[in-house]
Structure 1
Amino acid sequence: MTTPHRTIRRLSGAALSGAAWLCLGSVGALAASPQEERWDMLRDMYFSGRTVEDAGPLLSLEAPKRANDAAVVPIRIVTAPGSGVQVTAVHLIVDENPVPMAATFRFAHGDSPQAIDTRLRVNAYTNITAVAETSDGRLLRTTQFVKASGGCSAPALKNAQLAVARMGKMKLNLPDNIAAGKPLTAQLLISHPNYTGMQYDQLNYYFIPAHYVKTVAIRYNGAPVLDVQSDISLSEDPSIHFSLVPEEQGTLDVTAEDSNGRIFQESWPIRANSGS
Protein backbone atom coordinates (compact mmCIF):
# COMPACT_ATOMS: atom_id res chain seq x y z
CA MET A 1 0.00 0.00 0.00
CA THR A 2 1.34 3.40 -0.92
CA THR A 3 1.08 6.03 1.80
CA PRO A 4 0.54 9.74 0.98
CA HIS A 5 4.04 10.47 2.28
CA ARG A 6 5.57 7.92 -0.12
CA THR A 7 3.55 9.35 -2.98
CA ILE A 8 4.93 12.81 -2.23
CA ARG A 9 8.47 11.43 -2.24
CA ARG A 10 7.86 9.93 -5.70
CA LEU A 11 7.18 13.35 -7.28
CA SER A 12 9.58 13.98 -10.14
CA GLY A 13 12.36 16.47 -9.59
CA ALA A 14 10.77 18.82 -12.15
CA ALA A 15 7.39 18.67 -10.48
CA LEU A 16 8.90 19.21 -7.04
CA SER A 17 10.90 22.11 -8.37
CA GLY A 18 7.74 23.65 -9.81
CA ALA A 19 5.90 23.22 -6.52
CA ALA A 20 8.79 24.82 -4.68
CA TRP A 21 8.69 27.82 -6.99
CA LEU A 22 4.95 28.15 -6.43
CA CYS A 23 5.52 28.16 -2.67
CA LEU A 24 8.30 30.69 -2.94
CA GLY A 25 6.06 32.90 -5.07
CA SER A 26 3.32 32.72 -2.46
CA VAL A 27 5.76 33.57 0.34
CA GLY A 28 7.10 36.49 -1.70
CA ALA A 29 3.59 37.82 -2.25
CA LEU A 30 2.88 37.60 1.47
CA ALA A 31 6.21 39.21 2.40
CA ALA A 32 5.26 42.71 1.19
CA SER A 33 4.86 44.91 4.25
CA PRO A 34 1.72 47.00 4.82
CA GLN A 35 3.87 50.10 4.32
CA GLU A 36 5.03 48.87 0.91
CA GLU A 37 1.49 47.98 -0.13
CA ARG A 38 0.27 51.41 0.96
CA TRP A 39 3.08 53.10 -0.98
CA ASP A 40 2.20 51.10 -4.13
CA MET A 41 -1.33 52.48 -3.90
CA LEU A 42 -0.13 56.05 -3.30
CA ARG A 43 2.38 55.86 -6.14
CA ASP A 44 -0.41 54.84 -8.51
CA MET A 45 -2.63 57.61 -7.12
CA TYR A 46 -0.17 60.49 -7.37
CA PHE A 47 2.45 59.38 -9.93
CA SER A 48 0.55 56.98 -12.18
CA GLY A 49 2.68 55.44 -14.91
CA ARG A 50 5.89 57.06 -13.69
CA THR A 51 8.99 55.42 -12.23
CA VAL A 52 9.91 56.49 -8.69
CA GLU A 53 13.60 55.95 -7.85
CA ASP A 54 15.49 55.92 -4.58
CA ALA A 55 16.65 59.49 -3.93
CA GLY A 56 20.08 58.65 -2.56
CA PRO A 57 22.03 61.78 -1.56
CA LEU A 58 19.90 64.14 -3.69
CA LEU A 59 17.13 64.35 -1.07
CA SER A 60 16.98 63.92 2.70
CA LEU A 61 14.06 63.86 5.12
CA GLU A 62 14.26 64.34 8.88
CA ALA A 63 11.41 63.48 11.25
CA PRO A 64 11.19 62.31 14.87
CA LYS A 65 10.93 58.55 15.34
CA ARG A 66 8.27 59.18 17.98
CA ALA A 67 6.43 62.51 17.93
CA ASN A 68 5.85 64.48 21.13
CA ASP A 69 2.62 65.90 19.68
CA ALA A 70 0.89 64.19 16.74
CA ALA A 71 -0.73 67.48 15.72
CA VAL A 72 2.60 69.31 15.42
CA VAL A 73 5.24 66.96 14.00
CA PRO A 74 8.38 68.77 12.79
CA ILE A 75 9.66 67.80 9.34
CA ARG A 76 12.80 68.91 7.52
CA ILE A 77 13.46 68.35 3.80
CA VAL A 78 16.81 69.17 2.18
CA THR A 79 17.61 68.93 -1.52
CA ALA A 80 21.18 68.53 -2.77
CA PRO A 81 21.11 68.95 -6.55
CA GLY A 82 24.00 67.23 -8.31
CA SER A 83 25.82 68.12 -11.49
CA GLY A 84 23.19 68.81 -14.13
CA VAL A 85 20.34 67.87 -11.76
CA GLN A 86 17.74 70.48 -10.80
CA VAL A 87 15.15 69.70 -8.13
CA THR A 88 12.10 71.72 -9.12
CA ALA A 89 9.60 70.42 -6.54
CA VAL A 90 9.18 68.18 -3.51
CA HIS A 91 5.94 66.35 -2.71
CA LEU A 92 5.45 65.63 1.00
CA ILE A 93 3.19 62.66 1.76
CA VAL A 94 1.93 61.30 5.08
CA ASP A 95 1.17 57.78 3.88
CA GLU A 96 -1.56 56.83 6.39
CA ASN A 97 -3.31 60.20 6.69
CA PRO A 98 -6.89 60.58 5.36
CA VAL A 99 -5.51 62.97 2.74
CA PRO A 100 -1.95 61.68 2.27
CA MET A 101 -0.58 64.51 0.10
CA ALA A 102 0.33 67.09 2.73
CA ALA A 103 2.03 69.65 0.51
CA THR A 104 3.95 70.26 -2.68
CA PHE A 105 6.81 72.76 -2.58
CA ARG A 106 7.89 74.23 -5.93
CA PHE A 107 11.26 75.97 -6.10
CA ALA A 108 12.25 78.84 -8.36
CA HIS A 109 15.94 77.89 -8.16
CA GLY A 110 16.10 74.13 -8.49
CA ASP A 111 19.83 74.13 -9.24
CA SER A 112 20.74 75.31 -5.72
CA PRO A 113 20.24 73.43 -2.42
CA GLN A 114 16.89 74.03 -0.74
CA ALA A 115 15.88 73.42 2.86
CA ILE A 116 12.22 73.30 3.90
CA ASP A 117 11.00 72.90 7.46
CA THR A 118 7.33 72.57 8.32
CA ARG A 119 4.95 70.92 10.83
CA LEU A 120 2.47 68.14 10.10
CA ARG A 121 -0.54 66.41 11.58
CA VAL A 122 0.02 62.64 11.73
CA ASN A 123 -3.05 60.47 12.20
CA ALA A 124 -1.48 57.01 12.67
CA TYR A 125 1.88 55.25 12.78
CA THR A 126 3.11 55.88 9.27
CA ASN A 127 5.85 56.37 6.75
CA ILE A 128 6.34 59.99 5.82
CA THR A 129 7.49 60.17 2.22
CA ALA A 130 9.25 62.93 0.30
CA VAL A 131 9.34 62.69 -3.50
CA ALA A 132 11.56 65.13 -5.36
CA GLU A 133 10.80 66.03 -8.96
CA THR A 134 13.68 67.02 -11.24
CA SER A 135 13.69 69.27 -14.29
CA ASP A 136 14.16 66.23 -16.56
CA GLY A 137 11.11 64.47 -15.10
CA ARG A 138 12.71 62.03 -12.68
CA LEU A 139 11.02 61.22 -9.35
CA LEU A 140 13.27 60.56 -6.34
CA ARG A 141 11.90 59.14 -3.09
CA THR A 142 12.98 58.92 0.55
CA THR A 143 10.98 57.96 3.66
CA GLN A 144 10.98 58.10 7.46
CA PHE A 145 8.75 56.07 9.76
CA VAL A 146 7.05 58.13 12.50
CA LYS A 147 5.18 56.86 15.55
CA ALA A 148 2.30 59.25 16.19
CA SER A 149 -1.49 59.03 16.16
CA GLY A 150 -4.59 61.20 16.42
CA GLY A 151 -3.09 64.35 14.94
CA CYS A 152 -5.88 64.97 12.42
CA SER A 153 -8.63 64.89 15.07
CA ALA A 154 -6.70 66.70 17.81
CA PRO A 155 -8.55 69.78 19.17
CA ALA A 156 -7.37 73.21 18.05
CA LEU A 157 -4.92 75.00 20.33
CA LYS A 158 -6.81 78.30 20.06
CA ASN A 159 -10.49 78.84 20.75
CA ALA A 160 -12.67 79.51 17.71
CA GLN A 161 -13.11 83.24 18.40
CA LEU A 162 -9.37 83.84 18.70
CA ALA A 163 -8.70 81.74 15.60
CA VAL A 164 -11.13 83.86 13.57
CA ALA A 165 -9.73 87.12 14.95
CA ARG A 166 -6.16 86.21 14.03
CA MET A 167 -6.85 84.32 10.80
CA GLY A 168 -4.45 85.26 8.02
CA LYS A 169 -2.02 87.27 10.14
CA MET A 170 1.58 86.52 9.14
CA LYS A 171 5.00 86.82 10.72
CA LEU A 172 8.41 86.62 9.07
CA ASN A 173 11.44 85.60 11.14
CA LEU A 174 14.87 86.43 9.71
CA PRO A 175 18.42 85.89 11.05
CA ASP A 176 20.08 88.78 12.87
CA ASN A 177 22.86 89.11 10.31
CA ILE A 178 21.83 89.24 6.64
CA ALA A 179 24.49 89.41 3.94
CA ALA A 180 23.65 90.35 0.37
CA GLY A 181 24.21 87.53 -2.10
CA LYS A 182 24.44 84.82 0.57
CA PRO A 183 21.68 82.29 1.26
CA LEU A 184 19.64 82.69 4.41
CA THR A 185 16.84 80.70 6.03
CA ALA A 186 13.61 82.58 6.74
CA GLN A 187 10.55 81.38 8.65
CA LEU A 188 7.03 82.25 7.58
CA LEU A 189 4.21 81.82 10.12
CA ILE A 190 0.56 82.04 9.07
CA SER A 191 -2.14 82.22 11.71
CA HIS A 192 -4.87 79.80 10.62
CA PRO A 193 -6.71 76.96 12.41
CA ASN A 194 -6.20 74.57 9.49
CA TYR A 195 -9.26 72.54 10.47
CA THR A 196 -9.17 69.03 9.04
CA GLY A 197 -12.90 68.22 9.10
CA MET A 198 -12.20 65.53 11.73
CA GLN A 199 -12.31 67.73 14.83
CA TYR A 200 -15.25 68.23 17.16
CA ASP A 201 -16.57 71.61 18.25
CA GLN A 202 -16.11 71.34 22.01
CA LEU A 203 -19.34 73.29 22.63
CA ASN A 204 -21.89 71.62 20.33
CA TYR A 205 -20.04 68.35 19.51
CA TYR A 206 -20.58 68.75 15.77
CA PHE A 207 -17.67 68.21 13.39
CA ILE A 208 -15.94 71.45 12.42
CA PRO A 209 -15.90 71.78 8.60
CA ALA A 210 -12.49 71.49 6.93
CA HIS A 211 -10.90 74.93 6.52
CA TYR A 212 -7.20 75.12 5.76
CA VAL A 213 -4.48 77.06 3.96
CA LYS A 214 -4.51 75.83 0.37
CA THR A 215 -1.77 77.81 -1.40
CA VAL A 216 1.15 80.05 -0.43
CA ALA A 217 3.12 82.12 -2.95
CA ILE A 218 6.40 83.72 -1.81
CA ARG A 219 8.00 86.39 -4.00
CA TYR A 220 11.15 88.48 -3.57
CA ASN A 221 11.37 91.72 -5.58
CA GLY A 222 8.57 90.32 -7.72
CA ALA A 223 10.41 87.10 -8.61
CA PRO A 224 9.23 83.65 -7.46
CA VAL A 225 10.98 82.08 -4.48
CA LEU A 226 8.63 79.30 -3.38
CA ASP A 227 5.11 78.11 -4.18
CA VAL A 228 3.28 75.79 -1.80
CA GLN A 229 0.14 73.80 -2.44
CA SER A 230 -1.15 72.22 0.78
CA ASP A 231 -4.04 70.34 2.36
CA ILE A 232 -5.34 69.29 5.80
CA SER A 233 -2.11 67.60 6.93
CA LEU A 234 -0.26 70.85 7.63
CA SER A 235 -0.54 71.76 11.30
CA GLU A 236 -2.52 74.59 12.83
CA ASP A 237 -0.78 77.95 12.24
CA PRO A 238 1.37 76.67 9.36
CA SER A 239 5.10 77.27 9.65
CA ILE A 240 7.42 77.15 6.64
CA HIS A 241 11.19 77.65 6.73
CA PHE A 242 12.62 78.35 3.28
CA SER A 243 15.82 79.49 1.57
CA LEU A 244 16.37 82.97 0.13
CA VAL A 245 19.30 84.87 -1.39
CA PRO A 246 18.76 88.59 -0.59
CA GLU A 247 20.03 91.69 -2.34
CA GLU A 248 21.09 94.79 -0.41
CA GLN A 249 17.50 96.01 -0.47
CA GLY A 250 14.40 94.13 -1.38
CA THR A 251 10.82 93.27 -0.51
CA LEU A 252 9.37 89.88 0.32
CA ASP A 253 5.70 89.44 -0.61
CA VAL A 254 3.49 86.55 0.52
CA THR A 255 0.01 85.71 -0.76
CA ALA A 256 -1.94 82.86 0.84
CA GLU A 257 -5.35 81.49 -0.03
CA ASP A 258 -7.42 79.13 2.09
CA SER A 259 -9.99 76.49 1.17
CA ASN A 260 -12.84 78.95 1.74
CA GLY A 261 -11.43 81.32 -0.87
CA ARG A 262 -10.10 83.90 1.60
CA ILE A 263 -6.91 85.60 0.44
CA PHE A 264 -4.27 86.97 2.82
CA GLN A 265 -1.33 89.16 1.83
CA GLU A 266 1.68 90.61 3.61
CA SER A 267 4.96 92.33 2.66
CA TRP A 268 8.25 92.94 4.46
CA PRO A 269 11.28 95.05 3.46
CA ILE A 270 14.57 93.17 3.79
CA ARG A 271 17.86 95.02 4.11
CA ALA A 272 21.14 93.17 3.78
CA ASN A 273 24.73 94.11 4.43
CA SER A 274 26.80 94.56 1.29
CA GLY A 275 29.65 92.55 2.80
CA SER A 276 32.22 95.05 1.55
Structure 2
Amino acid sequence: MRTSVLVAVLALSASGVFAADKSVENPLIESPTWIELRDDIVGDVTLQDGTGLFTVDAPYRAFDAATVPISIIQTDTDAVITQADIVIDENPAPLAARMSFGTGMSPLKLELRVRVNTYSNIRVIAQTDQGSFMQGRYVKASGGCSAPATKDPKAALKGIGQMRLKPIANALPASGQRREAQIMIRHPNYSGFQRDQITHLFMNAHFIDRLDVYQGDDLLFTLDGGISISENPVFRFEYTDNGAPALRIRAEDTEGNVFEEMLDKGTSS
Protein backbone atom coordinates (compact mmCIF):
# COMPACT_ATOMS: atom_id res chain seq x y z
CA MET A 1 0.00 0.00 0.00
CA ARG A 2 2.80 2.41 0.89
CA THR A 3 4.54 1.77 -2.42
CA SER A 4 1.37 2.41 -4.42
CA VAL A 5 0.78 5.70 -2.63
CA LEU A 6 4.36 6.79 -3.31
CA VAL A 7 4.05 5.95 -6.99
CA ALA A 8 0.76 7.85 -7.25
CA VAL A 9 2.21 10.94 -5.61
CA LEU A 10 5.29 10.86 -7.81
CA ALA A 11 3.20 10.46 -10.95
CA LEU A 12 1.02 13.40 -9.96
CA SER A 13 4.08 15.52 -9.31
CA ALA A 14 5.61 14.70 -12.68
CA SER A 15 2.51 15.82 -14.57
CA GLY A 16 2.89 19.52 -13.87
CA VAL A 17 6.61 20.04 -13.63
CA PHE A 18 8.52 22.88 -15.27
CA ALA A 19 5.46 24.31 -17.02
CA ALA A 20 5.83 27.17 -19.46
CA ASP A 21 5.95 30.77 -18.28
CA LYS A 22 2.43 32.19 -18.05
CA SER A 23 3.20 35.54 -16.43
CA VAL A 24 0.62 37.34 -18.56
CA GLU A 25 -2.10 35.30 -16.86
CA ASN A 26 -1.26 35.79 -13.20
CA PRO A 27 1.43 38.37 -12.45
CA LEU A 28 2.01 39.67 -8.94
CA ILE A 29 -0.61 42.18 -7.78
CA GLU A 30 -0.51 45.07 -5.33
CA SER A 31 -0.36 43.69 -1.79
CA PRO A 32 -0.76 45.70 1.43
CA THR A 33 0.32 42.57 3.27
CA TRP A 34 3.66 42.55 1.44
CA ILE A 35 4.26 46.16 2.43
CA GLU A 36 3.99 45.06 6.08
CA LEU A 37 6.04 41.89 5.56
CA ARG A 38 8.84 43.25 3.43
CA ASP A 39 11.14 44.47 6.20
CA ASP A 40 10.86 41.20 8.09
CA ILE A 41 11.74 39.17 5.00
CA VAL A 42 14.44 41.24 3.26
CA GLY A 43 15.02 44.32 5.45
CA ASP A 44 16.17 47.37 3.49
CA VAL A 45 17.63 45.35 0.60
CA THR A 46 16.76 46.70 -2.86
CA LEU A 47 14.70 44.17 -4.81
CA GLN A 48 15.42 44.22 -8.53
CA ASP A 49 13.04 42.96 -11.20
CA GLY A 50 13.85 39.29 -11.72
CA THR A 51 12.31 39.07 -15.20
CA GLY A 52 15.65 38.70 -16.97
CA LEU A 53 17.10 36.29 -14.41
CA PHE A 54 14.44 33.62 -13.82
CA THR A 55 10.79 32.74 -14.29
CA VAL A 56 8.28 31.52 -11.74
CA ASP A 57 5.32 29.42 -12.73
CA ALA A 58 2.31 28.62 -10.54
CA PRO A 59 -1.33 28.04 -11.48
CA TYR A 60 -3.68 31.02 -11.57
CA ARG A 61 -6.39 28.88 -9.96
CA ALA A 62 -5.01 25.96 -7.96
CA PHE A 63 -6.50 22.52 -8.42
CA ASP A 64 -5.60 21.64 -4.81
CA ALA A 65 -4.71 24.41 -2.37
CA ALA A 66 -2.74 21.95 -0.23
CA THR A 67 -0.36 20.97 -3.08
CA VAL A 68 0.23 24.00 -5.29
CA PRO A 69 3.19 23.47 -7.66
CA ILE A 70 5.77 26.23 -8.00
CA SER A 71 8.56 25.99 -10.57
CA ILE A 72 11.60 28.25 -10.73
CA ILE A 73 13.58 28.26 -13.97
CA GLN A 74 16.70 30.35 -14.41
CA THR A 75 16.85 32.08 -17.79
CA ASP A 76 20.10 34.04 -17.43
CA THR A 77 22.50 31.11 -17.28
CA ASP A 78 25.54 33.32 -16.78
CA ALA A 79 24.39 34.30 -13.28
CA VAL A 80 24.64 32.07 -10.20
CA ILE A 81 21.65 31.95 -7.85
CA THR A 82 22.92 31.09 -4.38
CA GLN A 83 19.71 31.48 -2.37
CA ALA A 84 15.97 31.78 -2.89
CA ASP A 85 13.22 32.75 -0.46
CA ILE A 86 9.70 31.59 -1.25
CA VAL A 87 7.10 33.90 0.26
CA ILE A 88 3.33 33.39 0.28
CA ASP A 89 1.98 36.77 1.35
CA GLU A 90 -1.31 35.70 2.91
CA ASN A 91 -0.26 32.47 4.60
CA PRO A 92 -0.13 32.34 8.43
CA ALA A 93 3.65 31.86 8.14
CA PRO A 94 4.50 33.76 4.92
CA LEU A 95 8.12 32.64 4.56
CA ALA A 96 7.45 29.17 3.15
CA ALA A 97 11.07 28.24 2.55
CA ARG A 98 14.59 29.64 2.46
CA MET A 99 16.77 27.61 0.13
CA SER A 100 20.51 27.70 -0.48
CA PHE A 101 22.14 26.15 -3.54
CA GLY A 102 25.48 24.58 -4.29
CA THR A 103 27.24 25.14 -7.60
CA GLY A 104 25.86 21.87 -8.97
CA MET A 105 22.37 23.36 -9.09
CA SER A 106 23.37 26.18 -11.45
CA PRO A 107 21.56 27.13 -13.63
CA LEU A 108 18.60 26.67 -11.32
CA LYS A 109 15.63 24.56 -12.36
CA LEU A 110 13.46 23.47 -9.45
CA GLU A 111 9.90 22.59 -8.54
CA LEU A 112 8.29 22.11 -5.14
CA ARG A 113 4.74 22.08 -3.76
CA VAL A 114 3.25 24.39 -1.16
CA ARG A 115 0.06 25.09 0.75
CA VAL A 116 -1.80 28.31 -0.06
CA ASN A 117 -4.29 29.44 2.56
CA THR A 118 -6.16 32.12 0.62
CA TYR A 119 -5.82 34.13 -2.60
CA SER A 120 -2.23 35.33 -2.47
CA ASN A 121 0.91 36.44 -4.24
CA ILE A 122 3.66 33.83 -4.25
CA ARG A 123 7.07 35.48 -4.47
CA VAL A 124 10.52 34.09 -5.16
CA ILE A 125 13.38 36.33 -4.05
CA ALA A 126 16.68 35.13 -5.53
CA GLN A 127 20.17 36.14 -4.42
CA THR A 128 23.16 36.49 -6.74
CA ASP A 129 26.44 38.39 -6.51
CA GLN A 130 24.60 41.15 -8.41
CA GLY A 131 21.99 41.57 -5.67
CA SER A 132 18.44 40.43 -4.91
CA PHE A 133 15.82 39.81 -7.59
CA MET A 134 12.10 39.15 -7.24
CA GLN A 135 9.55 37.40 -9.44
CA GLY A 136 6.25 35.72 -8.67
CA ARG A 137 2.65 34.81 -9.40
CA TYR A 138 -0.77 35.58 -8.00
CA VAL A 139 -2.59 32.34 -7.13
CA LYS A 140 -6.26 31.80 -6.37
CA ALA A 141 -6.44 29.05 -3.76
CA SER A 142 -8.21 28.64 -0.44
CA GLY A 143 -7.86 26.49 2.65
CA GLY A 144 -4.50 24.87 1.93
CA CYS A 145 -3.10 25.25 5.44
CA SER A 146 -6.17 23.71 7.11
CA ALA A 147 -6.96 21.03 4.51
CA PRO A 148 -7.36 17.59 6.12
CA ALA A 149 -4.40 15.24 5.95
CA THR A 150 -4.72 12.37 3.50
CA LYS A 151 -4.16 9.79 6.26
CA ASP A 152 -5.18 9.47 9.89
CA PRO A 153 -2.33 10.38 12.28
CA LYS A 154 -1.39 6.80 13.20
CA ALA A 155 -1.17 5.71 9.58
CA ALA A 156 0.77 8.84 8.61
CA LEU A 157 3.41 8.25 11.27
CA LYS A 158 4.01 4.61 10.29
CA GLY A 159 5.95 5.53 7.15
CA ILE A 160 7.36 8.84 8.34
CA GLY A 161 10.78 9.66 6.92
CA GLN A 162 10.61 7.17 4.05
CA MET A 163 12.39 8.60 1.01
CA ARG A 164 12.49 7.84 -2.69
CA LEU A 165 14.60 9.18 -5.54
CA LYS A 166 13.22 9.03 -9.06
CA PRO A 167 15.75 9.73 -11.83
CA ILE A 168 14.06 11.50 -14.76
CA ALA A 169 16.67 11.33 -17.55
CA ASN A 170 16.23 8.56 -20.13
CA ALA A 171 19.80 7.42 -19.74
CA LEU A 172 22.52 7.76 -17.13
CA PRO A 173 24.56 10.84 -18.15
CA ALA A 174 28.31 11.06 -17.89
CA SER A 175 29.94 12.98 -15.08
CA GLY A 176 29.73 16.73 -15.69
CA GLN A 177 26.46 16.56 -17.61
CA ARG A 178 23.09 17.84 -16.46
CA ARG A 179 20.56 15.40 -15.16
CA GLU A 180 17.15 15.57 -13.53
CA ALA A 181 15.76 13.91 -10.42
CA GLN A 182 12.77 13.93 -8.12
CA ILE A 183 12.89 13.34 -4.37
CA MET A 184 9.82 12.42 -2.34
CA ILE A 185 9.82 12.33 1.46
CA ARG A 186 6.94 10.78 3.35
CA HIS A 187 5.95 13.16 6.14
CA PRO A 188 2.53 14.56 7.15
CA ASN A 189 3.97 18.08 7.57
CA TYR A 190 1.10 19.03 9.87
CA SER A 191 0.54 22.78 9.80
CA GLY A 192 -1.13 23.21 13.18
CA PHE A 193 -4.32 24.41 11.46
CA GLN A 194 -5.70 20.95 10.67
CA ARG A 195 -8.24 19.12 12.81
CA ASP A 196 -8.18 15.48 13.81
CA GLN A 197 -11.09 13.97 11.91
CA ILE A 198 -12.11 11.87 14.95
CA THR A 199 -11.60 14.23 17.91
CA HIS A 200 -12.05 17.45 15.89
CA LEU A 201 -9.25 19.00 17.94
CA PHE A 202 -6.45 20.90 16.25
CA MET A 203 -3.43 18.73 15.51
CA ASN A 204 -0.05 19.95 16.70
CA ALA A 205 2.25 21.39 14.05
CA HIS A 206 4.81 18.76 13.03
CA PHE A 207 6.81 19.36 9.88
CA ILE A 208 10.21 19.06 8.23
CA ASP A 209 12.07 22.25 9.04
CA ARG A 210 15.46 21.36 7.58
CA LEU A 211 16.47 19.43 4.49
CA ASP A 212 19.97 18.89 3.07
CA VAL A 213 20.63 17.19 -0.27
CA TYR A 214 24.15 16.19 -1.34
CA GLN A 215 25.66 14.21 -4.21
CA GLY A 216 28.66 12.58 -2.60
CA ASP A 217 30.24 15.31 -0.48
CA ASP A 218 29.01 18.17 -2.68
CA LEU A 219 26.00 20.14 -1.50
CA LEU A 220 23.13 20.46 -3.97
CA PHE A 221 20.65 22.38 -1.83
CA THR A 222 19.39 23.04 1.67
CA LEU A 223 15.90 24.06 2.72
CA ASP A 224 14.77 25.73 5.93
CA GLY A 225 11.02 25.20 5.75
CA GLY A 226 7.81 25.89 7.61
CA ILE A 227 4.15 24.93 7.64
CA SER A 228 3.61 26.00 4.01
CA ILE A 229 5.52 23.06 2.50
CA SER A 230 3.01 20.42 1.42
CA GLU A 231 2.36 17.04 2.98
CA ASN A 232 4.75 14.36 1.64
CA PRO A 233 7.13 16.97 0.16
CA VAL A 234 8.28 16.48 -3.43
CA PHE A 235 11.24 18.27 -5.01
CA ARG A 236 12.10 17.99 -8.69
CA PHE A 237 15.31 19.59 -9.91
CA GLU A 238 18.18 19.58 -12.38
CA TYR A 239 21.81 19.32 -11.31
CA THR A 240 25.27 18.77 -12.75
CA ASP A 241 26.43 15.21 -12.21
CA ASN A 242 29.74 14.98 -10.34
CA GLY A 243 30.16 11.23 -10.77
CA ALA A 244 29.07 10.25 -7.26
CA PRO A 245 26.85 7.14 -7.35
CA ALA A 246 24.24 8.37 -4.88
CA LEU A 247 22.43 11.36 -3.44
CA ARG A 248 22.51 11.77 0.33
CA ILE A 249 19.38 13.27 1.85
CA ARG A 250 19.08 14.37 5.46
CA ALA A 251 15.85 15.76 6.91
CA GLU A 252 15.02 17.02 10.39
CA ASP A 253 11.55 17.76 11.72
CA THR A 254 10.15 19.87 14.53
CA GLU A 255 9.84 16.82 16.82
CA GLY A 256 13.60 16.29 16.67
CA ASN A 257 13.42 13.31 14.32
CA VAL A 258 16.29 12.91 11.87
CA PHE A 259 15.88 10.95 8.64
CA GLU A 260 18.86 10.13 6.46
CA GLU A 261 19.13 8.09 3.27
CA MET A 262 21.69 7.33 0.57
CA LEU A 263 19.71 6.97 -2.65
CA ASP A 264 21.29 5.48 -5.75
CA LYS A 265 21.09 7.85 -8.72
CA GLY A 266 20.33 4.89 -10.93
CA THR A 267 18.58 5.26 -14.29
CA SER A 268 15.05 6.34 -15.10
CA SER A 269 12.19 3.92 -14.56
Which TM-score applies when normalising by structure 2? 0.84
The counterpart of 1:170, out of the listed 163, 170, 173, is 163
The counterpart of 2:93, out of the listed 94, 99, 108, is 99
Asked if the contact 1:107–1:226 (Cα under 8 Å) also holds between the matched residues in 2, the reply is: yes
**What RMSD, in angstroms, separates the aligned Cα atoms of the two structures?**
1.8
Q: Quick one: distance in 1 between partners of 2:206 and 2:159?
A: 14
The counterpart of 1:114, out of the listed 108, 115, 130, is 108
Structure 1: any 5+ residue segments left out of the alignment?
A: 1-32
Q: Quick one: distance in 1 between partners of 2:234 and 2:153?
A: 20
Query: Taking structure 1 as reference, are residues 248 and 143 closer, same or farther at Cα in structure 2, changes over 3 Å only?
Result: closer
**How far 1:261 sits from its partner (Å)?**
1.1
Q: Quick one: distance in 2 between partners of 1:105 and 1:249?
A: 23
**How far 1:244 sits from its partner (Å)?**
2.0
* Identity within the alignment, %: 35
**How far 1:257 sits from its partner (Å)?**
0.3
Aligned ranges 1:223-234 → 2 under 5 Å: 223-234=218-229
Alignment partner of 1:43: what SS? Answer: helix
* Runs of 4 or more above 6 Å deviation: none
Aligned ranges 1:1-276 → 2 under 5 Å: 35-81=30-76, 83=78, 85-109=79-103, 112-136=106-130, 138-175=131-168, 176-180=170-174, 181-270=176-265
Question: What do residues 115-168 of structure 1 show as CA deviations (whole Å, max 9, x unaligned)?
Answer: 1101111000011111101134x1100120100000000000112111110100
Structure 2: any 5+ residue segments left out of the alignment?
A: 1-27
**How far 1:104 sits from its partner (Å)?**
1.5
Question: What do residues 28-72 of structure 1 show as CA deviations (whole Å, max 9, x unaligned)?
Answer: xxxxx9843222222111111111111122021000000111111
Query: Taking structure 1 as reference, are residues 235 and 256 closer, same or farther at Cα in structure 2, changes over 3 Å only?
Result: same
Asked if the contact 1:116–1:243 (Cα under 8 Å) also holds between the matched residues in 2, the reply is: yes
Count, aligned residues: 238
| Bigger relative contact order (CA 8 A; separation at least 6) | 2
Alignment partner of 1:90: what SS? Answer: strand
Query: Taking structure 1 as reference, are residues 207 and 37 closer, same or farther at Cα in structure 2, changes over 3 Å only?
Result: same
Which one-letter code corresponds to 1:99 in the other structure? A
Say which one has the larger Rg: 1
Which one-letter code corresponds to 1:235 in the other structure? S
Which one-letter code corresponds to 1:94 in the other structure? I
Asked if the contact 1:250–1:270 (Cα under 8 Å) also holds between the matched residues in 2, the reply is: yes
Q: Quick one: distance in 1 between partners of 2:104 and 2:127?
A: 10
Asked if the contact 1:81–1:87 (Cα under 8 Å) also holds between the matched residues in 2, the reply is: no
Which TM-score applies when normalising by structure 1? 0.82
Q: Quick one: distance in 1 between partners of 2:243 and 2:217?
A: 15
Q: Quick one: distance in 2 between partners of 1:77 and 1:111?
A: 12
Which one-letter code corresponds to 1:134 in the other structure? T
Alignment partner of 1:57: what SS? Answer: coil
**How far 1:222 sits from its partner (Å)?**
1.1
